[in-house]
Amino acid sequence: MPTDVHHPRSTLPRPTHLQLAGLVVGLIAFLVPLLVDIPGLEPAGQRMLAIFLLAIVLWVTEAVPLVATAMLVILLEVLMISDQALVALPEDVLAASDYFAALADPVIVLFLGGFLIADGAAKFDLDRNLAAVMLRPFAGNARRSVLGLMLITAMLSMFVSNTATTATMFAVVIPILAVLPAGPARTGLALAIPVAANVGGIGTPVGSPPNAIALGALEARGEGVSFLGWMLLAVPLMVVVLLFAWWLLTRRYIAPDTPMALDLSSSFDRSPAAIVFYVVAGATVLLWLTEPLHGISSSTVGFVPVVALLATQVMGGDDIKALQWPVLWLVAGGIALGAGIGATGLDTWLLGLVAWEALPLTLLVLLLVAVGLGLSTVISNSATANLLVPLSLSLATGLPIDATAIGVIVALACALAMALPISTPPNAVAYATGEVDTRAMATNGLLVGGFGAVLLATVLPRVWDRLGLL
Amino acid sequence: MQLAVLILEDERPVREALARDLGHFGGHVRIEVAEDVPDAWAVIDELDRDGDRLALVLADHRLPGTSGVDFLVLLLDDPRTVHTRKVLVTGQADQQDTIRAVNDAGLDRYIPKPWNPDELRSVVRDQLTDHVIEHRLDPLPHLQALDAARVMPLLRTRGDR
């Protein structure tokens, strides 16, 4: 036998035309503010504008991977607008360590805990077993089964990433799809999962990355929201949109007498490691929900399972390696971007470009929601939040609206974008099954997302106000 | 990048029957046929030029020139095919050939002729799925040719974006 090992050739992906254009336009967008004197903007602001424009182009075109842009933002901030800037700035600037600190922002620590718990749930098959148990009361009637599937998908998605939830729930649904006759029932069922996973992600701070981006930016301004506080703000919208989506999908696609046999068998892992995991995960969620009683911040609570699961060796180095670091770093890039925009005064200058206060507040909020929804339909939700959250928060300073409300509204708007297969990974999975065509996804995605967006922009702020949540 | 399945069979009616039985994988994976080993290498060159990936070979054993089993052994020496999954579809391999196919070529499955079309499809689906899982390929572009439930765990590690 030959002893030499064959390495499959690893080729670099060939850039698309859009990516090449992104690189060129990004470079131009980066250079213009550095070469052209911009009235009313300090040198630091001009440099930050260069970084911000470059980030917009790169995140929209994905000329380089999303996470690479996030890291580039931090590097450029350190090299251009920190105390270690290559060309020193006359004004007061943040220390380089302040920009690097985004990588260990409390929100990142919160997500670290959330990710480890989510990965543990998969490791011990807790998510699938919980889904089987919770589905039992819904068995029998097809429309009720779909309601059960959607509620459970959304509940899992509040704590597990939308993508992982979709993967788990499709594993449950694929055997059902296989025995359904081809036709509308399959389309409806295959759409129900991603819609519920997308919508469920808004329910808690750890549900999806845009929530973290908003939360991080709010905390940086000293207006943090507790875990429970976020849930009170977001869960009502989540439930209403979910019920609307269920009504829409079942009325359009699923006849009540559709035969739908759910696999309800569960076999919980009872090994000692699994039991330790259940206890740690349960305690963490309980501590998150009871922050008003004990006052320990959700980030600190999020760090407890990290320590507990590693110390008990329920999870180890391999589990740490398997965490979704690109997602964490993408969020960190957004936090650093927000810090830079605030520290250089770029936010004030940008907002000064338009007489925002002349616009009616409701129209302004509608505009923000529309931009968030539209942009995140075609680009990454996290990238949209990274670009939009810092701007909207500074917008809020000059207006009679709570910054928290604006931050949460923008994050939720990003999560409601689900009209295209590329809008979110759950949509991409549903599309890849071949059961849903682009047209069905677009119609239902626009209806559900649009319904949610209108509620979010018009009704929800009043509800929050009325209930005294802000 | 498409996944490709190569059918290596010298008898034309058999080759066509195999391709026909795999018909509904078409559109989701690339199905290629070859009548002898040089022809098979030409297909491999073409796949490589197109940036596609040979995921599975269904080979007959008794061929003019190089035998099917010898071809499967040679696949291990080429970086383009070292990870290709290998299935013998044959009625004529003796015990020696079969032992060599298992031990030296890392044969994944043996389908005796005449084959059952459903079984053939299920073997192909399984082998493609194993290939995607083993090499952690993105399953979404090929999902309809795969055992979707089995590849779902690959998607968990992706994270939201």
Q: Which of A102, A99, A21, A92 has the alpha carbon at shortest distance from A58? A: A21
Joined tokens for residue A265? 């068998």
- CB of B157 less than 8 A from some CB of A: yes
Q: Are B34 and B4 in contact (CB under 8 A)?
A: no
Beta bridge partners of B112: B90
B37 assigned to some structural domain: yes
The partner residue sitting opposite B143, judged by closest CB among A161, A164, A432, is A432
Domain total of chain B: 1
- Nearest residue to A303 (alpha-carbon basis) of A206, A371, A411, A197: A206
What type of residue is A158? Answer: M
Q: Which two tokens stand for residue A105?
A: 């922002």
- Sheet with strand B30-34: strands edge to edge: B30-34, B3-8, B53-59, B85-90, B109-112
Report ipTM for this prediction. 0.89
Measured between beta carbons, which residues in chain A are less than 8 angstroms from residue B140?
A: 428-429, 432
In degrees rounded to 5, what are phi and psi of residue B109? Answer: -150, 155
CB contact under 8 A, B144 and A433: yes
Q: Which tens digit of pLDDT belongs to each residue from B47-104?
A: 999 999 999 999 999 999 999 999 999 999 999 999 999 999 998 778 899 999 999 9
Nearest Cα residue in chain B from A381: B161
- What percent helix, strand, coil does chain B show, rounded to 5? 50, 20, 35
Distances from the Cα of A271 to the Cα of A277, A284, A316, angstroms? 10, 20, 17
Mutation pick from A69, A163, A382 vs chain B, by most beta carbons of B within 10 Å, is A163
Phi then psi dihedrals of residue B59, to 5 deg: -120, 140
Residue A280 sits at the chain B interface (C-beta within 8 Å): no
Closest chain B residue to A386, measured at CA:
B161
- Residue A337 and residue A386 in contact, taking contact as beta carbons nearer than 8 Å: yes
Nearest beta carbon to residue B160 from set A2, A174, A208: A208
Residue A126 is inside which H or E element, if any?
Answer: helix A126-135
Q: What is the pLDDT of residue A358?
A: 83
Q: Is A69 on the interface with B (CB under 8 A)?
A: no
- Say how many CA atoms lie within 13 Å of A346 toward its Cβ: 25
Pairing of strands B30-34, B53-59: unpaired
Contact A208 B83 (CB under 8 A): no
Q: What is the pLDDT of residue A260?
A: 85
CB–CB contact A168 B156 (8 Å)? yes
Peptide bond into A210 cis (omega under 30): no
pLDDT at position A265: 87
Rounded Cα–Cα distance for residues A440 and A446 (Å):
10
A170 in contact with B at a CB cutoff of 8 Å?
Answer: yes
Burial class (CB in 10 A: 0-12, 13-18, 19+), A235: middle
pLDDT score of A2: 40
Annotate B51-112 with DSSP letters as a single string.
T-EEEEEEE-S--SSS-HHHHHHHHTTSTTTTT-EEEEEES---HHHHHHHHHHH---EEEE
Each residue's pLDDT tens digit, A367-416: 999 999 999 999 999 999 999 999 999 888 778 888 999 999 999 999 99
Contacts of B76 in chain A (CB under 8 A): 6
CA B80 to each of CA A280, B6, B41, B51, B88: distance values in angstroms, whole numbers, following the listed order? 46, 13, 11, 11, 19
Among A167, A382, A434, the residue with its CB nearest the CB of B155 is A167
Per the structure block, which two tokens stand in for A286? Answer: 């309980």
Number of other residues whose CB lies within 10 A of the CB of residue A438: 12
Q: Assess if residue B53 is contained within a domain.
A: yes
Nearest to A429 by CA among B122, B146, B131: B146
Q: Domain of residue B97: give its range.
A: 3-156
d(CA B14, CA B11): 5
Kindly tell me the sign of the dihedral angle through the C-alpha atoms of A204, A205, A209, A210.
positive
pLDDT recorded at residue B117 = 95
Closest CA in chain A for residue B48: A9
pLDDT 10s per residue in chain A (470 long)? Answer: 343 444 445 668 889 999 999 999 999 999 999 999 998 899 999 999 999 999 999 999 999 999 999 999 999 999 999 999 999 988 889 999 999 999 999 999 999 999 999 999 999 999 999 999 999 999 889 999 999 999 999 999 999 999 999 999 999 999 999 889 888 999 999 999 999 999 999 999 999 999 999 999 999 999 889 999 999 999 999 999 999 999 999 999 999 888 888 888 889 999 999 999 999 999 999 999 999 999 999 999 999 999 999 999 999 999 999 999 999 999 999 999 999 999 999 988 988 888 877 888 889 999 999 999 999 999 999 999 999 999 999 888 778 888 999 999 999 999 999 999 999 999 999 999 999 999 999 999 999 999 999 999 999 999 999 998 88
Tell me the chain A residues in contact with residue B148 when contact means C-beta distances shorter than 8 Å.
Answer: 170, 174, 433
B49 touches chain A (CB under 8 A): no
Contact A122 B153 (CB under 8 A): yes
Whether the CB of A330 is below 8 Å from some CB of chain B: the reply is yes
Q: Give the domain CATH number at B93.
A: 3.40.50.2300
Q: Where are the domains of chain A?
A: 14-102, 106-321
Indicate yes or no: CB of B77 within 8 angstroms of CB of A2. Answer: yes
Domain presence at residue B84 = yes
Which residues, 6+ apart, have CB-to-CB distance to A80 below 8 Å? Answer: A47, A48, A50, A51, A86, A87
Nearest CB neighbour to B159, from listed A8, A163, A168: A163
| Residue B161 within any structural domain of the chain | no
Q: Does A65 touch chain B (CB under 8 A)?
A: no
Residues A308/A312/A313/A317 CA torsion (nearest 10 deg): 30
CB distance from B136 to chain A under 8 Å?
no
> Which residues are within 8 A (CB) of A24 and not within 5 positions of it... i.e. 6 or more apart?
none
